[in-house]
Structure 1
Amino acid sequence: MAEHDEDLWEAHAGWWQDGFSEGADPEYEEQILPLAAEHMAGAVDVLDIGCGEGQIARLAVRGGARRVVGVDPTWAQVVEAERRGGGPVYARAGAAALPFADASFDTAVACLVFEHIVDVDDAIAEVARVLRPGGRFLFFLNHPLLQTPGSGWIDDQILDPPEQYWRIGPYLVEDESVEEVEKDVFIPFIHRPLSRYVNALADAGLVLTRMEEPAPPPGFLARASEYEAAATIPRLLLLRCRRSD
């Protein structure tokens, strides 16, 4: 992250902690956490990259992992993660310079993190470095195609007959922006096309073994009536990868 981006995350860590953890967010509760638990099954040594306040890390402990470490570049997140406890240990670190020896973990998770990382190639190379041969990487993203900036549900009443469709924004254009996600809360985002991530994974020796594009969960649709008509448009993408031997 750039220094300005880190400042924004420090200033607005509470927005994340209050709105997306401890059962506050239906997408996490009904979709992300169950998927993470499913794909972390059997993990022994887990690294949660961009752990925030630690809910994925705590989930790994509850799932039986022997050692769970969470890293985040934001002090406010690391302090809150430590306060909430639950078994993991935490360190302040960015994804592009992980403070661990080669082949330290059998599982790494990055949940809705890489949309905020500038040094994407270095970060993915670091994931591969700290994974053991055959280790898994669970890579959760806001769907790069269908959630491109400028995308959304269009109710076009000008056409005859009227049409409803999902508009996709400028997908191929890599874009860094700062979005006001709610009043006076500004968060940095980076959009990249999916090929940018897949090719970086391949270059680092991380082989794609499974891809999930789940429909928005019922709890989210109940809270966001404007999405009801777009229930067939995924918001989330999960790539499960394996480090080559």
Structure 2
Amino acid sequence: MRYDGERDWARQVEQVKSLRELALEFIRDAIVSGRFAPGQHLKERELAEAMGISTTPVKEALRVLEHIGLVQTVPRRGTYVSPAVNTSLREINWMRAYLESLAARWAAEKATGDQLAQMEAQLREMERLTHHPDRERLAAANTRFHELVREAAGNAVLASTLSQVAAVDRAFRRRALQDDKEVSAGFEEHRKVFEAIRARDPDLAEARMRSHILRAVHHVLTDSKEGEDPSE
């Protein structure tokens, strides 16, 4: 039996958690998309006002982002987008590339006929959306293709590990798909990954998935300029 006070406490915890997730998504996406530049000062009160929330969930979100290397807190000066944010994004995506390529390998070995059919249908949807002006829909469709590959891999530990970088992946994918050339190149690479999985060629599926992700990372970040270190 739960008392009224316990229920109120649980609701408050859930509300704070939801606001923290809102703040986390807002700030993380702005950093990954490049809207918040390396070295930019992140003022808690301004961020809170922009989202219409208190500063508490903003503080919590910034702590999470500092843990994964996207922001940096300088004593007595405040919190900044990490001057090495592009390095952090590159390293996160390199880890993802090797995990996703392992998922593609196992998908080539384990995928059922139904799972292959789902991937093929998803590719058709992705091809349709390459000509659609709403890039958010294409980014979501691409994310779903990767999810289908992970599901076909049939490994819970791998799926759980990849879920930890999924949010950064989604934001990074939206950034990449602002480029028309990346839209075309990305679709063709997804198609080739699928063909290798369907052909039951684990070596080729693994190599193509890894190459796809690493090429996209290089394309997005190669011309990015790192900011000045605010601690200097």
Give the TM-score category using the shorter length. under 0.3
Instruction: Kindly indicate whether structure 1 or structure 2 has the higher relative contact order, using CA contacts under 8 Å at least 6 residues apart.
Output: 2
- Compute the TM-score of the two structures, normalised by the length of structure 1: 0.20
**Bigger fraction of residues in helix:** 2
- What TM-score do you get using the length of structure 2 for normalisation? 0.21
More strand by share: 1
